Amino acid sequence: MIIMSVDLGKARTGIAVSDISESFAFPKVVINEYNSEKLIDKICSVAAELGAELIVVGNPKNMDGSEGWRAQECKEIAEKIKLKSGKEIILWDERCTTVSAHTALNATNTRGKKRKNVVDAVAAVIILEDYLSFRKNTKN
């Protein structure tokens, strides 16, 4: 199954996708959009283009596991993506994914404007890799 992940941001939203065997996650695109309705349209369009059957949306919980206003906002957007795309949506804990993305980009010495343009897609890859690992380890 092809699975797509979404790292929602205020200005930039990262998208990653798995291969059909659910073994690897690849960065696909960063969507630059402030308007949530247009963003939802673009996410659904990318999902259709990639043939995604499942969409994993990052859920930005607080470090103590509680959910703040941003997590609620992401839940609302995820529900709208589900209604518009007709795809199954999984909300996935994304704590520390952006920090991990920055660490990965440090390791590759990615700096400046290039870094800003890819960090959200890398965060989406990390979300998807985490979900794929969970999925693989819980299959019976």
Mean pLDDT of the chain: 84
Q: What is the pLDDT of residues 8-54, one digit of tens each?
A: 988 889 999 999 999 999 999 999 999 999 999 999 999 999 999 99
37: left (phi over 0), alpha (psi -120 to 50) or beta: alpha
Q: Is 68 helix (H, G, I), strand (E, B) or coil?
A: coil
Domain 3-138 has CATH 3.10.110.10: no
For the chain, which residues make up each domain, given as ranges? 3-138
In what side-by-side order are the strands of the sheet with 25-32? 25-32, 12-18, 3-7, 54-59, 88-93
Which pTM was predicted? Answer: 0.82
What mean pLDDT do residues 134-140 have? Answer: 81
Residue pair 62/68 in contact (Cβ under 8 Å)? The answer is yes
User: What average pLDDT score do residues 63-89 get?
Assistant: 88
